Amino acid sequence: MSVFGEPTEEQARRERLAAQVRQMVRRLAVEGFDTEPVEVAIPGFDRITRPGLADPLAGVRAGVLVRGVAEREIRESTTDARGLGRS
């Protein structure tokens, strides 16, 4: 965090990337696991919602798929980095 409690530019960039990944997981759930996007009410608030899925387990399945792909990418990138003498 910066001196004033605001996120640094790097932190803000990572938050934007994380938001894109969350959107991608929801999109994969809709396209690949037969669900629909919905707005989910946030408990304790009358009119505030967040993006969700009609079948939340489709989001779990999509998240597990993305996790597996990410783990494979980490392994491959680690192998490539070691091959270049970087670690």
Question: 68 lies in a domain?
Answer: yes
Within a domain: 2:
no
Q: Hey, is 78 helix, strand or coil?
A: helix
Structural domain includes residue 23 = yes
Domain annotation covers residue 72: yes
Specify the number of domains making up the chain. 1
DSSP 47: S
In a domain, residue 3? The reply is no
Residue 87: predicted pLDDT = 77
1: in domain: no
Is 34 part of any domain? yes
Rounded-to-integer distance, Cα 24 and Cα 51, Å: 12
pTM for the model: 0.80
Each residue's pLDDT tens digit, 23-57:
999 999 999 999 999 999 999 998 999 999 999 99
User: Mean pLDDT over residues 12-30, rounded?
Assistant: 97
Write down the pLDDT at residue 3.
62
Reported confidence tier of residue 17, pLDDT bands at 50, 70, 90: very high
Show the domain range for 37. Answer: 9-83
Q: How far is Cα 16 from Cα 30, in angstroms, rounded to an integer?
A: 21
Query: Which phi and psi (to 5°) does residue 64 adopt?
Result: -65, -40
Give residue 4's pLDDT band: very low, low, confident or very high (50, 70, 90).
confident
Note whether 54 and 38 are within 8 A (CB).
yes
